Structure 1
Amino acid sequence: MFLLVFISFLGCKDQKQNPALASLNLLRGDLQLCGNGQFGDVSFSESCSYETRVTFNLAIALLHSFEYTEAEKAFVQVIDQDPECAMAYWGVAMSIYHGLWAPPPNTVLEKGSKLLEVAAKLPKSKKAEQYLGAIGAFYEDWETVDNQTRKERYAKKMGVMYNANSDDTEVAVFYALALRASAVPTDKTYKIQREAGQILEVLFEKEPNHPGIAHYIIHSYDYPELAELGLTTARRYAEIAPNSAHAQHMPSHIFTRLGLWEESINTNISSASSATCYAESIAPGAHWDEEVHAMGYLVYSYLQIGDNENALEQYNYLKSFEEVFPPNFKIAYTAAAIPARIAIENKNWEEAAAIELPKNLGLAWESFPWQKSILHFTRAMGAIHTKDLDAAENELNTLKSFQNELIEMNDAYKANQVGIQIKMAEGWLALAKGNKEEALSLMETAVIMESITSKHPVTPGEVVPADELFADMLLTMNKPQQALDAYELNLQRRPNRFNGIYGAAIAAKQSGNQEKANHYFNQLIELTKDSNSKRPEVAEAKKFIHQS
């Protein structure tokens, strides 16, 4: 149960608003925080006047948990109370720069640039000059320089600042975040992520209640190969910032990587509750994107323990929404992924073939080709398995059009994600046409493409992993030993996936490996023991163990 707290900071100065800010649509108003305002402990040395210090530190704490709207409002309160505080303008520029998420739109880049122009004319300390110069490297030339290059410029500037101020916690934290944001998803060495994580781990020993340190450790290790490094921190972060919906959600990134489904469910229930409280305070009847985001992870986790009932409850709840805010890529992803996952995870191919985009959320779907591709990939797989090959061809053509659109948008990562979907659908279509060698070749390509690309931070995981779908194909082609090898590789990368465990059990059984069949069927029973699962696979597992 969350209690909404309204916090208003009254200034001691009666300053007139800077006319240069009039056109920037700065967010103002009382801070609306659920709970008792616990967002962790920070102490920022460049917070200008003494009177604004409490407000500034709260703004920093909110920023560290990606509570961007309230962070901006808090920084603007500082500006209104102390218009000469250059770092408050930096704070707003940081609050609208979401480095780990989608590239900001032009309106945000223009706003950030104008804020920094105002700050440039104000008196400031050397350290404030460095902070402003660093984020300025991101906003500079935004009309002509791509987002990745600008993120790398920002990280490089923060690196120079960090080397000159390595004993300053906030400098180190913001440098680590800038580093992590600059990492490209195709670098599977995770060199940058490891470097960021190591900086933060040292800091966490000294400041175990700092929200940014814990948060960014999780983001640095949000990969199957690194997730174990972030587990202790993941279990701590929600306690550090208990009133942040995002802080309640973030541990599930690590829990998902490690297949800790009950922990993921619990933390996302808390996140959704906090997000609902916040939404009721500013837009009664509407739903905040943090709630929807948590629901996406909830559905994924429920499906992995065979709990269709709760997964469907979340989906039906989503379908009841009449208004969401802001209508962004996170909401579009979740709205597309939830019904797709439910259909594919249950291999309900009739449902998959008929799946539709949600109409109730007010999303401009034409702006989200990657998210739309999830639905069309699901329809393609449904059509293939229900023998409607013409429909499957049509869905493939739609997927290829989305890939071309993303290429034209210079979004290589998402274009590649759609490309993986295309290869998987082409592979299964080839199999449906009797072209077995071509089918295997296409699926092997999809597996390779996926193995060298990291997942997007917004997702709990692929709608269906390519190597798991490859294993399914091998099993369909009566190659159980090869299928078992593929399933086991999939489970190394994605522990405790329901279909991965079940597939491994069936492959082991068909290849005559009684020991492994027992192991995986028992694992499936253990995985689902608290979910009252009605999945037929669970009944099959229990029957097998009983008879063996």
Structure 2
Amino acid sequence: MNLKKIVILYFSVLFLYLSACKNANLAPDLASLGLIRGTLQLCGDGQFGEVNFSESCNYETRETFNLGISLLHSFEYIEAEKAFVQVIDKDPECAMAYWGVAMSIYHGLWAPPEKSVLEKGVKLLEIAEKLPKSEKAEQYLNAIGAFYKEWEIVDNQTRKSRYAKKMEEMYLENNEDTEVAVFYALALRASAVPSDMTYSKQREAGKILENLFKKEPNHPGIAHYIIHSYDYPELAELGLGTARRYADIAPNSAHAQHMPSHIFTRLGLWDESISTNLKSAESAICYAESIAPGAHWDEEVHAMGYLVYAYLQTGNNKLAYEQYNYLKTFKELFPPNFKIAYTAAAIPARLAVENKNWEEAANIELPQKLEIEWVEFPWQSSLLHFAKALGNIHMNKLDSAQNELDILYASKQKLTALNDAYKANQVNIQIKTIEAWIQLKRGNEEEALTLMSTAAEMESKTSKHPVTPGEILPADELLADMLLVLNKPQEALTAYELNLKRRPNRFNGIYGAAVAANLIGDIEKATMYFEILLEQTENVVSDRPEIQEARVFLEKNINS
């Protein structure tokens, strides 16, 4: 063997040795991460929008990496992680693939991540730090590192703000990079606190995204995050055009099919909300059947919650109860999380109290067949106890109502101990409401009104959680109901109309406004509201007595 061949053989062996050492060093770390692997399960023809991420690694993995980004932008988190893991398996030195997994488990708009998720994120970043990377990749990793690092001693909100700040710095240096701008806008939106009713961060994020959308109208993340930025009563109109586009951009994403209903719900566009959530549930069923036949994915349950809300606003009890009966057949759900717990408690609570079926409300129970650890979800379970308390109050069972109130007190204390100020405040609004109605039943009218007004004011200063289509019953609406009971129809009308401004086209809000207007002799306004009610329910065969009352009123007053 000549010298040239010996040298070539030597360096070949050395390269293989070093590669083996490198992969040997990575392998133990990877094995401990619990990475999600497997064939990507994409329903339909795999359309999730168009992205072109500049920081992917090997050319051979670019298509998979871009698919992972597209899935991530539509919150298809499981499949996004699988896509990034496929990149890691083909190219273990691709630092940005580890970033992709870290982003797939970072759900900034939702609940704070569990300890296991934070630990996984830290390990991913530790591996990525050892790998060669571009300057921009380094920036991406440092930014999300600001969220994961020091999680033991720094609270979730502060870490989200740190991440947003790092992304802002990156955006200012790279404001022509679409993906940098999109991820900055999402980080900015996620860092907003629910008590900030100026929506300054949401408006800023929305402005960035709207400018991008003009240039890239098929980008899933831009459309998605515009909707999240404008998911507020005061801003929802700004997101309507985008809401009507997003589902077509990513037609195979269950979440993309659902998201437009956030804007539709804010604007009281019930038929559009129903249509998009039916498509979302169908897509979610397809996905569940592909990976866990017989089980139900949380996106299907999430869509069902919005469907029930919309059906109730159109007076369609039949289809609303069909969803509930269908939910009761579920045995296996994945992943078990706060979205499933919320919907499982909210659906039966809404059905009872929106129909003012107080006996049903007083007797509903937390669904046990779904195998939800309700002790882990005090805010979600409080929805049902709130409904039970209202039911017992109207059934004149004040001792039972007090028992439910005591449970709400305990839930609030638990959430406070967990430093979950937002959810503790939501339960506190429920507490004030129940205290108000108990006082009303006891004849303490002034105290009842004071408490109910306090609850309404508290609710006006906090935004609803993104997981919910709306409160079980809005405090404004309950205040108006109380004013009617106290024979104060003019004040009741004012409260109903404020409620309708914040929550357009709510069935009970429209009906209440019509009744209050009639009681003060404003036949023109009562006619207007009853006509709106009939128009909103015209395509539904409904047993709601309010609809019959509207017909009788209009026949009498229009024909006379």
TM-score range, shorter chain: over 0.9
Match among 55, 68, 78 for residue 64 of structure 2: 55
Aligned residue in 1 for 2:207: 198
Match among 402, 409, 420 for residue 411 of structure 1: 420
Q: How does 1:34-49 map to 2 (within 5 A)?
A: 34-49=43-58
The reply on whether 1:89 has 2:92 as its aligned counterpart is no
Residue type at the aligned position of 1:117: E
Aligned residue in 1 for 2:196: 187
Aligned residue in 2 for 1:435: 444
Match among 468, 477, 483 for residue 474 of structure 1: 483
Unaligned stretches of 5+ in structure 2? 1-18
Match among 309, 312, 331 for residue 321 of structure 2: 312
Aligned residue in 1 for 2:493: 484
| CA displacement at 1:531 relative to structure 2 | 1.5
User: What secondary structure, in the 3-state scheme, does the structure 2 residue paired with 1:42 have?
Assistant: coil
Q: How does 1:377-526 map to 2 (within 5 A)?
A: 377-526=386-535
Aligned residue in 1 for 2:303: 294
CA RMSD in angstroms, aligned pairs only:
1.0
1:457-481 CA distance string (max 9 Å, x none): 1000001000000000000111111
Aligned residue in 2 for 1:322: 331
TM-score (norm 1): 0.97
**2: CA distance between counterparts of 1:99 and 1:473?**
38
**2: CA distance between counterparts of 1:276 and 1:297?**
16
Q: How does 1:78-227 map to 2 (within 5 A)?
A: 78-227=87-236
Aligned residue in 2 for 1:231: 240
Aligned residue in 2 for 1:370: 379
Match among 336, 340, 349 for residue 345 of structure 2: 336
**2: CA distance between counterparts of 1:296 and 1:102?**
18
1:363-405 CA distance string (max 9 Å, x none): 1110000011011111100010000011111111110010000
Residue type at the aligned position of 1:158: M
Aligned residue in 2 for 1:22: 31
The reply on whether 1:533 has 2:542 as its aligned counterpart is yes
**1: CA distance between counterparts of 2:488 and 2:36?**
60
1:129-172 CA distance string (max 9 Å, x none): 00000000000101111000000000000000000000000000
1:440-470 CA distance string (max 9 Å, x none): 0000000110000000010000010000000
Runs of 4+ deviating beyond 6 Å: none
User: What secondary structure, in the 3-state scheme, does the structure 2 residue paired with 1:32 have?
Assistant: coil
Residue type at the aligned position of 1:359: Q
Aligned residue in 1 for 2:364: 355
**1: CA distance between counterparts of 2:454 and 2:188?**
31
Match among 70, 73, 86 for residue 64 of structure 1: 73
Residue type at the aligned position of 2:365: E
User: What secondary structure, in the 3-state scheme, does the structure 1 residue paired with 2:532 have?
Assistant: helix
**2: CA distance between counterparts of 1:416 and 1:108?**
26
User: What secondary structure, in the 3-state scheme, does the structure 1 residue paired with 2:41 have?
Assistant: strand
Residue type at the aligned position of 1:208: P
User: What secondary structure, in the 3-state scheme, does the structure 2 residue paired with 1:306 have?
Assistant: coil
| CA displacement at 1:360 relative to structure 2 | 1.2
**2: CA distance between counterparts of 1:162 and 1:252?**
30
Residue type at the aligned position of 2:553: F
Residue type at the aligned position of 2:297: W
**2: CA distance between counterparts of 1:504 and 1:43?**
51
Aligned residue in 2 for 1:3: none
The reply on whether 1:248 has 2:257 as its aligned counterpart is yes
**2: CA distance between counterparts of 1:43 and 1:452?**
40
**2: CA distance between counterparts of 1:224 and 1:193?**
13
Residue type at the aligned position of 2:101: V
| CA displacement at 1:534 relative to structure 2 | 1.8
For the pair shown, which has the larger CA radius of gyration, 1 or 2?
2
**2: CA distance between counterparts of 1:543 and 1:198?**
48
1:252-278 CA distance string (max 9 Å, x none): 000000000000000000000000000
Aligned residue in 2 for 1:8: none
Residue type at the aligned position of 2:449: L
1:487-520 CA distance string (max 9 Å, x none): 0000000000000000000000111100001000
**2: CA distance between counterparts of 1:425 and 1:513?**
31
**2: CA distance between counterparts of 1:409 and 1:150?**
17
Residue type at the aligned position of 1:182: S
Aligned residue in 1 for 2:285: 276
Residue type at the aligned position of 2:450: S
| CA displacement at 1:533 relative to structure 2 | 1.7
| CA displacement at 1:349 relative to structure 2 | 0.2
**1: CA distance between counterparts of 2:319 and 2:540?**
9
Residue type at the aligned position of 1:103: P
User: What secondary structure, in the 3-state scheme, does the structure 2 residue paired with 1:34 have?
Assistant: coil
Residue type at the aligned position of 1:203: L
| CA displacement at 1:16 relative to structure 2 | 5.4
Unaligned stretches of 5+ in structure 1? 1-12
Residue type at the aligned position of 2:336: P
| CA displacement at 1:201 relative to structure 2 | 0.2
Residue type at the aligned position of 1:384: I
Aligned residue in 1 for 2:3: none
TM-score (norm 2): 0.95
User: What secondary structure, in the 3-state scheme, does the structure 1 residue paired with 2:473 have?
Assistant: coil
Residue type at the aligned position of 2:533: L
The reply on whether 1:262 has 2:260 as its aligned counterpart is no
User: What secondary structure, in the 3-state scheme, does the structure 1 residue paired with 2:42 have?
Assistant: strand
**2: CA distance between counterparts of 1:122 and 1:53?**
18
**2: CA distance between counterparts of 1:536 and 1:445?**
31
Residue type at the aligned position of 1:83: P
